[in-house]
Amino acid sequence: MYAFEYQKPKSLADAAARAANEDAKILAGGMTLIPTLKQRLARPSELIDLGGIAELKGIRKEGNDVVIGAMTRHADVAASDLVRSTIPALADLAGMIGDPAVRHRGTIGGSIANADPAADYPAAVVGLGATVITNQRQIPGDDFFTGLFETALEPGEIITAVRFPPAQKAAYMKFRNPASRYAIVGVFVAQTAGGVRVAVTGAGPSVFRQKEMEAALSKSFSPDVIKDVKQSPDGLNSDIHASAEYRAHLVGVMARRAVEKCG
C-alpha cells in the first residue's frame, strides 16, 4: 500500500465534504478497496472511513419497502428477520456474497458504489427496481450502474441507503467463478408491482436487464417460456474461466433456475 491519511468522520456532512477531494477515497467495508490498495492499484491521498456514521447502518421498514443503510454488512442483511420475511431472495443473495469473513465486513453501499461487474448486489438493485439513496438525491436502480466499475454517483456523493420494494416472487441464482467465487453469471428474477424483472450480473461489463426474458415471463411466469430466449454473447465478458458464449448460455440456465426457485 502507498501511504495515505485516514479520517473517520462522525457525520455524513463531514464525510461528504472530505469526499469532494478528488484524491480521497471512501472506505466502507473495504473488501474491495483494501485488496486494491494492497496491490498498489490505487493511490488515494486520504481514506474516509464511513464506519463512524451511525445513521448509515441498519435495516428498517418504510411502508412496504425495506430500506438498508449503506454501511449494513452482508451478514446482517442475510440474517435479518425483516429482510428474510419481506424479500427472502435478497437475504439469500447477501448470504452468497464472498465468504463469511467478507460478509462480516462488506457492505451494501460499498458493493454497489464499486460496481464490480461480477458483484451480486447490483443484480438485486436492478432486479427489484430498488432506489439508491444518496446524501444528495434518489437514483433509480435502473439508472445507477452506468458501466464497468462506473455509477451515476458524482464526486462527493455518498450512498446512504438502498430502498427495496417487495416482490411477489423473487430469486437469485449464481454461477460462481471456480477460482474467485465471484459471479461468472448471476441472475436475479422478480415479479414486482412494476412487472417482471430479470437482472443479470457477471456476464457483461455492468449489470443489465434481460428484456426478452422479462417479456416472456410477463406472459407466463414459468421456466419453460424462456427456454428458447437466446441471450446474445455480443458484448459479454470473456476470460479464461468463461467465454462470452458460455456466459450467454449460463444466463439462460441461471434465469430458468431462478424462476424455478421462485416456486
Partner 1 sequence: MPTVSMTVNGKKVSGTVEPRTLLVQFLRETLGLTGTHVGCDTSQCGACVVDIDGDSVKSCTILAVQCEGANVTTIEGLANGSELHPMQEAFREHHGLQCGFCTPGMIMSAVDLVKKNPNPTEQEIRHWLEGNLCRCTGYHNIVKAIEAGAKAMGARK
Partner 2 sequence: MSETGIGARVTRKEDFRFVTGRGTYTDDINRPNQLWMWLLRSPHAHARLKKIDTTAAAKMPGVHAIFTHDDLARDNVGGLPCGWLIHSKDGSPMVEPPHPVLAAGVVRHVGDPIAAVIAETRAQAREAAEAIEVDYEVLPAVVDTREAIKDGAPQIWPEAKNNTCFDWHLGDKDAVDKAFAKAAHVTKLDLVNNRLVPNAMEPRAAIGEYDVATGEHTLWTTSQNPHVIRLLMGAFVLHIPEHKLRVVAPDVGGGFGSKIYHYAEEALVTWAAAKVKRPVKWTADRSESFMSDAQGRDHHTHAELALDKDGKFLGLRVSTLANLGAYLSTFSTSIPTYLYGTLLAGTYTTPAIYVETRAVFTNTVPVDAYRGAGRPEASYLLERIVDLAADELGIDPAELRRRNFIPKDAYPYQTPVALQYDSGDYFTTLDMALKAADYANFEARRKEAASRGKYRGIGMATYIEACGIAPSAVAGALGARAGLYEMAEVRVHPTGSVTLFTGCHSHGQGHETTFAQLVADRLGIPIDQVEVVHGDTGKIPFGMGTYGSRSLPVGGSAIVKALDKVVAKGKKIAAHLLEAAEADIEFKDGKFQVAGTDRAKTFGEIALTAYVPHKYPIEELEPGLDETAFYDPKNFTYPAGAHVVEVEIDPDTGVVELKGVWAADDFGRIINPMIVEGQVHGGLAQGIGQALLEHCVYDDSGQLLTGSFNDYAMPRADDLPSFHLGTNATLCTHNPLGVKGCGEAGAIGSPGAVMNAIVDALSPLGVKHIDMPASPRRIWETIQAHRPRMAAE
Q: Which residues bind partner 1 (CB under 8 A)?
A: 1-6, 8, 27, 30-31, 34-35, 37-39, 47, 49, 51, 75, 98-102, 104-105, 180-181
Which of the residues 32 through 61 are near partner 2 (CB under 8 A)? Answer: 39-40
Contacts of 60 (CB under 8 A, 6+ apart): 66, 67, 82
The whole-angstrom separation of Cα 112 and Cα 109 is 5
- Does residue 261 touch partner 2 according to CB under 8 A? no
For residue 246, give the C-alpha cell. Answer: 458460455
Smallest separation, CB 3 to partner 1 (Å) = 6
Of 121, 164, 172, 175, the one binding partner 2 (CB under 8 A) is 175
Residue 231: alpha-carbon gap to chain centroid: 21
Q: Which is nearer to partner 2, 70 or 250 (CB)?
A: 250
Q: Determine if residue 3 is left, alpha or beta; phi over 0 gives left, psi from -120 to 50 gives alpha, anything else beta.
A: beta
- Does residue 240 touch partner 2 according to CB under 8 A? yes
User: HSE (CB half, 13 Å, CA atoms) of 212?
Assistant: 10
Q: CB under 5 to 8 A by kind: which of partner 2, partner 1, none does 41 bind?
A: none
Pattern 132-171, partner 2, x by CB under 8 A:
----------------------------------------
Assign 3-state DSSP to the chain and report helix, strand, coil percentages, each to 5: 35, 25, 40
